[in-house]
């Protein structure tokens, strides 16, 4: 409205008729419908073109440099209307423009200029629609990515909680099992062999201290490599031997070259297997074998009652969580785990096999 008002306030040449309020009223009727252009763009465009035609035919007012209201209305049609409606409206608008120019002046330059500015308004409307659609798509992708990141973070937190639960289960289950065995043997030893009772109490104390050290390390209180390693297996086996179980250990290959995460997995698997032997197997001897080559293989075989003897080591309620943890640890490194009857159906076996590439990839990273 401000743009169409300018010709009415600028002084006119004396030979031109004076601007009248009736002519100015026609400019007002052409601008006011634009307030509803987003609700009914096609209707508003028709109203604006009609007002422009009445202004040119009935009002003796100053001419306008540009049909501002008509351009804005056509821009809105191109930006908001569906394809069929906007194309039909564009063709009808072009016909109206051509007819209006031919009826008033018939000047070719005015016709080309009018078609150009109306065509530019239509193109700008389409560009606006495309840009808005693009921005909406980008925002939608950003929202989806945010949701995916949130879900991934929640899953990562859940995996970390599961990992911590496995670590705490392995540490506490092993330590408490040794402490229970030694504590049960303590009263008998006090009556029959006091020197053995003192050794049992020392073993209980040592198991408790070791569990506390590992728990502190696991929770980040200490930053030492006490989470367990393949090289620390002899110390672990010595603590188990103090419970009276005969433990043999064989290591083949470059055990010291294992990546820290793989070495920790080996340590935890052996620890869990020995815990089940102490708690459930009723075994007198157990063999631990670690082989590092094209594959990393860990075998823990006892001579106890086996999975058919009613022990939880075979996957019952008492040891199920630990054996599930063994399989999960193996899967985390792309390996496999077996828990079941030992060779010839005797005893119980825990076996984990990891690809040698897993250890190499860890070292490379």
What are the boundaries of each domain within the chain?
A: 2-106, 247-365
Range with lowest mean pLDDT among 90-99, 234-243, 309-318: 309-318
247-365 in CATH: which number? 3.30.565.10
Comparing 87 with 217, the larger pLDDT belongs to 87
Mean pLDDT of 181-191: 72
Model pTM score: 0.44
Name the pLDDT band for 224 (thresholds 50, 70, 90).
Answer: very low
Least confident of 107-111, 151-155, 176-180, 326-330: 176-180
Question: What integer is the mean pLDDT of 46-69?
Answer: 75
Q: What percent of the chain stands above pLDDT 70? A: 84
Q: What is the mean pLDDT of residues 2-26?
A: 76
Q: What does the pLDDT average to over 249-258?
A: 87
For residues 108-133, average pLDDT? 90
| Residues 69-109: tens digit of each pLDDT | 888 999 999 999 898 988 998 899 888 888 887 887 788 88
Q: What pLDDT was estimated at residue 134?
A: 93
- Per-residue confidence (pLDDT) for residue 222, from 0 to 100: 38
- Tell me which residue has tokens 């209180």: 221
92-103 pLDDT, tens digit per residue, is 988 888 888 788
The least confident of 1-15, 52-66, 125-139, 232-246 is 52-66
- The mean predicted confidence, pLDDT, of the chain is 79
The answer, yes or no, to whether residue 356 has pLDDT greater than 50, is yes
Better-predicted residue by pLDDT, 277 or 195: 277
For the chain, give the secondary structure using H, E and C: CHHHHHHHHCCCCCCCCCCCHHHHHHHHHHHHHHHHCCCCHHHHHHHHHHHHHHHHHHCCCCCCCCCHHHHHHHHHHHHHCCHHHHHHHHHHHHHHHHHHHHHHCCCHHHHHHHHHHHHHHHHHHHHHHHHHHHHHHHHHHHHHHHHHHHHHHHHHHHHHHHHHHHHHHHHHHHHHHHHHHHHHHHHHHHHHCHHHHHHHHHHHHHHHHHHHHHHHHHCCCCCCCCCCCHHHHHHHHHHHHCCCCEEEEEEECCHHHCCHHHHHHHHHHHHHHHHHHHHHHCCCEEEEEEEECCEEEEEEEECCCCHHHCCHHHCCCCCHHHHHHHHHHHHHCCCEEEEEECHHHCCEEEEEEEEHHHHHHHHHC
Average pLDDT over residues 42-71: 78
Q: Which of 176-185, 240-249, 265-274, 349-358 has the lowest mean pLDDT?
A: 176-185
Specify the higher pLDDT residue, 305 or 215: 305
Residue range 328-341: average pLDDT? 87
pLDDT tier for residue 362 given thresholds of 50, 70 and 90: very low
Supply the pLDDT for residue 209.
72
| pLDDT above 90 (res 300) | yes
Percentage of residues in the chain having pLDDT higher than 90: 16
pLDDT of residue 59 exceeding 70: no
pLDDT at residue 357 in the model: 63
pLDDT at residue 282, rounded to an integer: 79
Kindly state the average pLDDT of the residues 203-228.
62
């Amino acid at each position: 409205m401000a743009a169409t008002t300018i010709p009415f306030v600028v002084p006119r040449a004396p030979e031109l008729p004076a601007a009248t309020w009736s002519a100015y009223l026609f400019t007002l009727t052409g601008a006011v419908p634009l307030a509803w252009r987003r609700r009914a763009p096609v209707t508003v465009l028709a109203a604006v073109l009609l007002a422009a035609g009445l202004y040119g035919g009935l009002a003796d007012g100053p001419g306008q440099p540009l049909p501002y209201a008509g351009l804005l209305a056509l821009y809105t049609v191109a930006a908001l209307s569906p394809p069929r409606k906007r194309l039909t409206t564009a063709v009808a608008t072009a016909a109206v423009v051509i007819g209006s120019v031919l009826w008033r002046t018939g000047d070719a330059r005015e016709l080309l200029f009018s078609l150009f500015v109306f065509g530019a308004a239509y193109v700008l409307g389409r560009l606006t629609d495309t840009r808005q659609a693009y921005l909406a798509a980008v925002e939608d992708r950003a929202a989806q990515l945010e949701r995916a990141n949130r879900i991934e973070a929640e899953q990562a937190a859940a995996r970390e909680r599961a990992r911590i639960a496995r670590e705490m289960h392995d540490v506490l289950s092993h330590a408490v099992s040794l402490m229970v065995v030694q504590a049960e043997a303590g009263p008998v030893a006090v009556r029959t062999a006091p020197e053995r009772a003192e050794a049992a109490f020392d073993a209980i104390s040592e198991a408790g201290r070791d569990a506390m050290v590992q728990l502190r390390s696991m929770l980040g209180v200490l930053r030492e490599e006490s989470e367990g390693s393949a090289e620390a297996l002899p110390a672990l086996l010595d603590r188990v031997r103090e419970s009276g179980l005969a433990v043999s250990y064989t290591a083949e290959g470059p055990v010291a070259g294992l990546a820290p995460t793989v070495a920790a997995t080996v340590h935890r698997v052996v620890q869990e297997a020995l815990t089940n032997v102490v708690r459930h197997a009723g075994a007198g001897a157990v063999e631990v074998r670690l082989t590092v080559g094209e594959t990393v293989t860990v075998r823990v075989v006892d001579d106890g009652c086996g999975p058919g003897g009613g022990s939880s080591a075979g996957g019952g309620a008492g040891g199920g969580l630990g054996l599930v943890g063994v399989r999960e640890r193996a899967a985390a490194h792309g390996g496999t785990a077996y828990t079941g009857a030992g060779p010839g159906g005797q005893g119980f076996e825990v076996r984990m096999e990891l690809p040698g590439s897993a250890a190499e990839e860890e070292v490379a990273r």
